[in-house]
Amino acid sequence: MKLTHFLSLILCLTLILVACQRATPSPTPAPPLEPTPTPQPTQIPPTKPILTLTPTPLGGATLPAGEKANLVLLNGYIYTVDPARSIAEAVAIKGDTILYVGKNQGAQAFIGNDTQVIDLQGRMVLPAFVDSHAHATSGVSDIYEVSLYGIDSVEKYQQTIREFLAENPDLKALQGAGWINNVFGPQGPTTAMLDEIVPDIPAVLYSEDYHSVWVNSKALQLAGITRDTPDPQGGVIERDANGNPSGTLRETAADLVAEVIPPYTVEQYLEGLEYFQDFAHSLGITTVYVPSLPGGFGEALEALHEFDRSGKMSIRFPTAAGINPEDPISKVDEIRGLIEKEKGGNFEVIGAKIFMDGVLEGSTAYLEQPYSHLPGSRGELLWEPQKYNEVCAALDRAGIQIHVHSIGDASTRITLDGFAYARQQNGPRDARNLITHLQLVNPADIERMADLDVIAVPQPYWFVVDTYYTQAVEYIGKQRADRQYPMKSFFDKGIVVASASDYPVSWPPNPFYAIEIGVTRTVPQSLGDIYVDADFQTPLNPQERVTVEKMIASFTINGAYATFLENQIGSIEVGKKADLIVLSQNILQIPPSDIHRTTVLLTFFEGKEVYRSEDYTP
């Protein structure tokens, strides 16, 4: 036998032995799905060399012998999210890398004179969370803007704005977000409601979904918006009975007031990014897919550069650059250049973001059947389908992942048409295209998503009966409202599901809230201050409930897969980055209705402790 054949045989036997160990992780994980009879997606090549593991008789796996760890965690309930969903007792870490996963006894060999040892006292450990769609650059908004989230009346909105103005008397413009369409009705809020509070400076306040803006008369005046201003392509200027702008601008119409509000500076964005990073760490999040950059390639992009270069960045921001219907096909080359330029850091550009439609509450989601309250309207399709197809083909040809906002069922069908066209033109590849939100989906298109290897990026925070459900019944009828937000259907078809918050739309972006709601499909009992008109008993679309294990996967290994990082993060396995969180309770051993009460005690990013709760006691 040739030496090379002999070595290959030894390697194969070693890998088989490793796979047979109960808590033996693999450095080349299977696709991030729980075992199903459906074919699993193809893995991309590892981003670093495969490391040979040494199996131990204790049901663990290690890197080559002789290493001493910087940090060892003992006596834990470590849910690894490896392909076998193994549970370990101990983890050893050196630098940014996991050295060992297995039993306590096996970890002793990695403890040296300088090793920090943490006794977990039975606490649960998970891989750190991945939020697969969150606008991290909006951290600046939490600092400098009025927050209107969780408010249920016009009078309370006005009082909140008054208080903010009193605390910030020198404002040159008022910005904010969080108002709910259903408080105001189909036409939205009016200028008069704002003018009595803020008449002298422009006011631009985004809705909770960020697809509509509420403006005062000063903002309309400065933007030059009058009764003669036509609705822009893909947008709506709400008007009174006389045709005058009434104070609400939807979708692309919001761009008409973009120049009225001064942009945030690089320094302000940096402040917001540091704030968001600390916030995310406290929630156990160490990787965030940023789906778009405000202002294109301006101040926000420069702030991300600066943050990455500063050495203060202890979070990953894989990011998508926006491409719009009016952009030429050459924008694809610009995005390709940006991807190449940004390789290698914690901030990277990995894809292109496309808005296909609007939102249901603004009557702009693009539907297969008309709205009930607007019988002649199916919503707003923001792209001409053939141009969208050509853009998809060009992005795919350039090797760029496509990340699409789609709410309505007709919008999702057209989104998939573009993905299919790209595959037809270019041939199949490991594209990992994503569709986010997916509020209404035709069951036939769930089959197509599986066939096209599309990743679903839902926001489980929204899977509840509250004021949005009430509005949906009015706008689309109870039958359609009751089948909103599929989840189990995606898993059942073998689709990779990567959960997300869409922060700041979901606030706070606490994954434990989402995990519980994904299992129960009801508003958690103590979150009535976050959800308006919450029904704590009635589940939304209960047949779409999933297990806690699947929800964990959607916030860990599946999120890693969605960002091409499944060989580095997303599970607790030897050779991977040491992104871990320690929890206040074991979410696999408590009633699902208590999951939202879980807190993060410790967060580690690449082996470094980046968050410690005041409630943590060693």
Domain range summary for the chain, segments of one domain joined by +: 3-130+604-612, 136-257
CA angle 477, 483, 484 (to 5 degrees): 90
Among 286, 399, 266, CA closest to 339: 399
Q: What's the CA gap between 15 and 84, in Å, rounded?
A: 15
**Cα distances (angstroms) measured from residue 193 to each of 54, 187, 198:** 68, 13, 9
Q: Between 57 and 558, name the one with better pLDDT.
A: 558
> What mean pLDDT do residues 248-273 have?
92
Indicate whether 181 pLDDT > 60. yes
Indicate whether 287 pLDDT > 70. yes
Among 30, 41, 36, 119, CA closest to 75: 119
Q: Dihedral of CA 303/309/314/315: which sign?
A: positive
Indicate whether 39 pLDDT > 50. no
Q: Contacts from 324-333 at CB under 8 Å and sequence distance 24+?
A: 324/355, 325/233, 325/234, 325/382, 325/383, 325/384, 325/387, 325/388, 326/233, 329/390, 329/391, 329/394, 332/391, 332/394, 332/395, 332/398, 332/400, 333/398
Q: Between 170 and 514, name the one with better pLDDT.
A: 514
Q: Give the pLDDT confidence of 362-383 residue by residue, as tens digits.
A: 899 999 999 999 999 999 999 9
Helical H segments across 69-180, by residue range? 104-107, 139-144, 154-167
pLDDT the model gives residue 60: 56
> What mean pLDDT do residues 28-43 have?
35
Among 45, 41, 46, 32, CA closest to 575: 46
What is the arrangement of strands in the sheet containing 61-62, beginning at the earlier edge strand? Answer: 54-55, 61-62, 97-102, 90-94, 71-74, 116-119
Q: Between 557 and 294, name the one with better pLDDT.
A: 557
pLDDT the model gives residue 150: 83
**Cα distances (angstroms) measured from residue 281 to each of 272, 289, 493, 568:** 14, 15, 33, 18
Look up residue 615 and give its two tokens: 């409630």
Is residue 152 very low, low, confident or very high in pLDDT (cuts 50, 70, 90)? confident
pLDDT the model gives residue 295: 66
Indicate whether 185 pLDDT > 90. no
Is residue 578 very low, low, confident or very high in pLDDT (cuts 50, 70, 90)? very high
Lowest mean pLDDT among 1-10, 240-249, 600-609: 1-10
| CATH code for residues 3-130+604-612 | 2.30.40.10
Indicate whether 89 pLDDT > 60. yes
> What mean pLDDT do residues 48-74 have?
59
Polymer length in residues for the chain: 618
Q: Which residues share a beta bridge with 45? A: none
Lowest mean pLDDT among 12-16, 306-310, 533-537, 609-613: 12-16
Q: Which residues share a beta bridge with 251? A: 235
Q: What's the CA gap between 323 and 328, in Å, rounded?
A: 9
Among 29, 91, 15, 22, CA closest to 58: 22
pLDDT cut 70: percent of the chain above it: 89
CB 529 within 8 A of CB 485: no
**Cα distances (angstroms) measured from residue 588 to each of 231, 500, 521, 596:** 51, 21, 17, 13
pLDDT the model gives residue 13: 38
pLDDT cut 90: percent of the chain above it: 80
Indicate whether 278 pLDDT > 50. yes
Cis-peptide into 508, omega within 30 deg: yes
Lowest mean pLDDT among 59-68, 160-169, 242-251, 391-400: 59-68
Plot region of 412 (φ>0 → left; ψ -120 to 50 → alpha; else → beta): alpha
Q: Between 60 and 484, name the one with better pLDDT.
A: 484
Please name the fold of domain 136-257: Diaminopimelate Epimerase; Chain A, domain 1 (3.10.310)
Indicate whether 14 pLDDT > 90. no
pLDDT the model gives residue 209: 83
Q: What's the CA gap between 563 and 288, in Å, rounded?
A: 9
Indicate whether 6 pLDDT > 90. no
Is residue 325 very low, low, confident or very high in pLDDT (cuts 50, 70, 90)? very high
Residue 10, helix vs strand vs coil: helix
> What mean pLDDT do residues 131-137 have?
96
**Phi, psi values for residue 379, rounded to 5°:** 100, -160
Residue 437, helix vs strand vs coil: strand
What is the arrangement of strands in the sheet containing 124-127, beginning at the earlier edge strand? Answer: 87-88, 77-79, 124-127, 580-583, 600-605, 608-612
CB 308 within 8 A of CB 278: no
In which element (H, E) is residue 583 found?
strand 580-583
Indicate whether 20 pLDDT > 90. no
pLDDT the model gives residue 297: 67
Mean pLDDT over each residue of the chain, to the nearest integer: 89
**Cα distances (angstroms) measured from residue 185 to each of 208, 248, 364, 475:** 14, 11, 14, 11
Q: Give the pLDDT confidence of 494-549 residue by residue, as tens digits.
A: 999 999 999 999 999 999 999 999 999 999 989 988 998 999 999 999 999 999 99
* DSSP character string of 212-280: EEEE-HHHHHHHT--TTPPPPTTEEEEE-TTS-EEEEEEEGGGGGGTTTSPPPPHHHHHHHHHHHHHHH
Indicate whether 461 pLDDT > 80. yes
> What mean pLDDT do residues 24-37 have?
37
Indicate whether 293 pLDDT > 70. yes
Q: Give the pLDDT confidence of 210-244 residue by residue, as tens digits.
A: 889 999 999 999 999 999 999 998 889 999 999 99
Indicate whether 134 pLDDT > 60. yes
> What mean pLDDT do residues 317-328 have?
95
Cis-peptide into 504, omega within 30 deg: yes
